[in-house]
Amino acid sequence: MTESLQETAQISCDILIIGAGPAGMMAAITACENGADVIVLHDKPSPGGQIYRNVDNSPLPDANILGEDYTQGGELVARFNACSARVFSSASVWHVGDNGEALFSYQGTTQRVSALEIIVANGAMERPFPIEGWHLPNVMSAGAAQVMLKSDGIVSDDAVFIGTGPLLYLIVAQYLRLGVKVKALIDTTEKANYLKATQQLPKAFAQLGMMTKGLGLLNEIRASGTPCYRFVKDIQISAAEHAKPEQASQVTFQCANETVTLQADQFFLHQGVIPNLNITRSLGLAHHWNAQQLCWQPTLDNWGASSVPYISVAGDCSAIVGAIGAQNMGKIVALNLLYRLDRLKLEKRDELATRAMQDMQQLNRFRAFIDSLYRPRDIHRMPEKSSVVVCRCEEQNLAQLEQAFGEQASGPNELKLMTRCGMGPCQGRMCGTTVSELLAKWRNTGVANVGYYHLRSPMRLLNLEELAKLETVAPRSAQ
Ligand SMILES: Cc1cc2nc3c(=O)[nH]c(=O)nc-3n(C[C@H](O)[C@H](O)[C@H](O)COP(=O)(O)OP(=O)(O)OC[C@H]3O[C@@H](n4cnc5c(N)ncnc54)[C@H](O)[C@@H]3O)c2cc1C
């Protein structure tokens, strides 16, 4: 049920869900089926999240080329559209106060909604890939290539794809199925990872279907004749000399002890996804470092309940669980909230959640295999060359951060104050994880001891006119 602006004054509900990806949609369906009053806010024009973006309105002549994992999402979106949740599309949440009231930008003004329980389901983002030249024009993430494809049917001919992980291979395969020429796939997966991943193989076999799909993608790419360079390191993206404006036009790398150089107009980078923590961080939830997935994640119990009593977290923003895992989590979290709201008895909650809990255990074992095989190289997370830009918004390179560290900036927030690293429009999303890992390395300690930037509202970009129209904003004290 899509809501209109007039209906937004002083709205309230039992459960507020932020995000309409697989996790948020499944949470809404489950909660509505059991009689809860639900509001969903999501910042895109249509529901679906990253994986099912535009599934019911694809600009492509044949959306089947995106794969059955994509088209199957149509069923979930249809169930979501048919459920009784009040849904606000293109609604971007930018603050949640201590009083549980959420503020969101909607059609140019800020609206308020209060809820007894909040589910944060705002998904993942691509892991930063700080290598030489990653900040130059003509370099984007492979996820951005997929967003353009799914949203507008736009592709880039003859591009070079660089990195590691299933999503990278999926996007290359989607390009190839469309008949778009890919100049090369430069695969940075380390040889040693294959050996380490085999230790996880027995546990991963329960998800044989997923493994077969992954192998199928690699075979598809090889069979297309696209040049594939494997076990690549020492990547450097650069602009042609004297080019104005400066824009990336070549990549140089080491492959099998040879230096290879390729010219291209477009480079797409990807080395996995990590939770998008701008919301959970600015809400002041407790977080911890996940050494297997090499990322921060909110600290949750088995039901997705966070350290703040009325806030739960589901899907890829809790830990990387994938689309099916996100749906399972959405269901589990919603069932728990129905119990907390006295709409379900404890035994019924447990009974309804059994299957999803079991599936999560299996998926987590498979995830351990994926995390081990596609673990990004240290050098691609913690650059060593002083000229590599770490904070793209404020153009702070490694040398500048090292200097500030030498001048007593031992934590992310001191480093931010001294260099402006993390103060730009992305609010630290593109440098935060790198800064935590770099400081841990320089201090010779664990990442958990280093911490992360303090984030505050607004958690999304907000224009001053909209902010000025507000009379009161309840504070968020746990920051
Ligand atoms: C760029 C990218 C592309 C991906 N493509 C694929 C793919 O093709 N196949 C695959 O298997 N996996 C893909 N993934 C992995 C994907 O994250 C999961 O498979 C799955 O989509 C996770 O579901 P989710 O519900 O947790 O989050 P998401 O699907 O990411 O949904 C999050 C939702 O939150 C909304 N949101 C975020 N912030 C706010 C805010 N402040 N206010 C309101 N709404 C907000 C978003 O609009 C979105 O609707 C991709 C990940 C990324 C980052």
Report the topology of domain 128-271: FAD/NAD(P)-binding domain (3.50.50)
Region 382-450: CATH code: 1.10.10.1100
Atom of ligand 1 nearest to the CA of 91: 43
Determine the 3-state secondary structure of 145 from DSSP: helix
Distance (angstroms) between ligand 1 centre and the Cα of 469 equals: 31
Residue 273 CA, closest ligand 1 atom number = 53
Structure tokens at 419: 């260099």
Counting ligand 1 atoms within 8 A of each CB, the residue from 72, 89, 111, 122 with the most, and so the one to mutate, is 122
Query: Relative to the CA of 23, which ligand 1 atom is closest?
Result: 25
How far is 85 from 2, CA to CA, in rounded Å? 9
Per-residue pLDDT of the chain (479 residues; tens, 9 = 90+): 655 544 445 699 999 999 999 999 999 999 999 999 999 999 999 999 999 999 999 999 999 999 999 999 999 999 999 999 999 999 999 999 888 899 999 998 999 999 999 999 999 999 999 999 999 999 999 999 999 999 999 999 999 999 999 999 999 999 999 999 999 999 999 999 999 999 888 877 777 888 888 889 999 999 999 999 999 999 999 997 777 678 999 999 999 999 999 999 999 999 999 999 999 999 999 999 999 999 999 999 999 999 999 999 999 999 999 999 999 999 999 999 999 999 999 999 999 999 999 999 999 989 999 999 999 999 999 999 999 999 999 999 999 999 999 999 999 999 999 999 999 999 999 999 999 999 999 999 999 999 999 998 898 888 888 988 887 777 776 54
Residue nearest to atom 7 of ligand 1 (CA): 51
Residue ranges of the chain that CATH labels 1.10.10.1100:
382-450
| 126 CB within 6 A, ligand 1 | yes
**Shortest-distance Cα residue to atom 6 of ligand 1:** 51
Q: Print burial letters for 68-88: b (CB count within 10 Å at least 16), e (below 16).
A: eebeebeebbeebeebebbbb
> How far apart (Å, rounded) are the C-alpha atoms in residues 147 and 152?
8
> Does the C-beta of 128 come closer than 6 Å to ligand 1?
no
8 Å CB contact between 96 and 459: no
Q: How far is the CA of 49 from the centre of ligand 1 (A)?
A: 4
Single-letter residue type at 390:
V
For ligand 1, pick from 17, 51, 374 the residue to mutate: most ligand atoms within 8 Å of CB: 51
**How many angstroms does the Cα of residue 331 sit away from the middle of ligand 1?**
16
Q: What is the CA(349)–ligand 1 centre distance, in A?
A: 27
Architecture of the 5-125+274-344 domain: 3-Layer(bba) Sandwich (3.50)
The tokens for 106 are 């909607």
**Residue extent(s) of CATH 3.50.50.60 domains in the chain:** 5-125+274-344, 128-271
Distance CA 288, CA 294 (A): 11
Distance 154 CA to ligand 1 centre (A): 19
**Can you give the pLDDT at residue 6?**
47
Cα torsion 428, 432, 433, 435 to 10°: value is 150
Nearest atom, ligand 1, residue 66 CA: 8
Ligand 1 pocket member 43 (CB < 6 A): yes
Pairing mode of beta strands 248-255, 258-263: antiparallel
Q: What is the 246 CA–ligand 1 centroid distance (Å)?
A: 32
**CB of 139 closer than 6 angstroms to any ligand 1 atom:** no
